[in-house]
Copies of this chain bind each other. A is one copy, B any other.
Amino acid sequence: MFNRTALVIFSGGLDSTTCLYWAVKNYNVVHTLTFLYGQRNVIEVEYAKKTAGLIQKAGKNINMHFFKIDLSQIGGSALIDKNIAVPKRRTLKDIGCGIPITYVPFRNGIFLSLATAFAEKEDLDDIIGGWNMVDFSGYPDCRENFLKTMERAINSGTKRGIEEKPIHVVFPLIHKSKMEIIKFGKKMGADYSYAYSCYEGKEIPCGECDSCILRKKGFTEAGFEDDFLLRLKREGKF
């Protein structure tokens, strides 16, 4: 156990769910922060609550926080602007190339700044997120260099930083592929029955957006069936 307290940026997706399992294993005090930011797939927030419920049933306390911020006021991304279509059936080569239309301008900068405000208010030590660079979709604000520089900015602009109780930005998945993230989660007993990834936001994942494609590849390579699809099958929905 680390002798620090944790704030997990928890979207309800596969990566942040893995982070949450990692956090409850390593920290005694775990808070989560979930954003309702006008995302097309806001259904992930309801699933986030279900995943947290599963973990709490297993005896781990989680303090959930929610923050509403309507990023559609900025626009410019298929994830927050319903007039822009989510790209479908792209090849892995295309997914790995360039910055896609699902990029929400500086979303992780915004989320990290808001998480910092929560950490200041609640006096929490570490901000943890599921950012990763291997199978990432080309988002500039998911890179390790950005996260490290942002950590420096956070500590030069907060009460905690000035008082020499620096906030750490922690990214346990940064160098892991989707396959490795799933293996890492499964080793900790992660249950992905409610970990939602699809950009479309419908109950049944589309299977064709970048996020669905990378997830499917990850589960196949890791040698597991996808808990989410298994649950849908059990419920007769898939």
Contact = CB atoms under 8 A, between A and B. Distances in A.
Chain A contact-residue range equals 35 or more
Given A73-B68, A158-B105, A114 B110 contact: yes
Contacts of A106: 113, 116-117, 120, 154, 157-158
Interface string A60-93: 0000001111110111100000000000000000
Which one of A108, A141, A153 has the greatest number of beta carbons of chain B within 10 Å?
A153
A149 B153 contact: yes
A152 interface: yes
A116 B109 contact: yes
Given A140-B161, A162-B140, A154 B109 contact: yes
A176 interface: no
Given A106-B120, A113-B106, A145 B149 contact: no
A104 B116 CA distance: 11
Interface in A95-112: 99, 103-110, 112
Interface string A201-220: 00000000000000000000
Contacts of A110: 110, 113-114, 117
B146 A149 contact: no
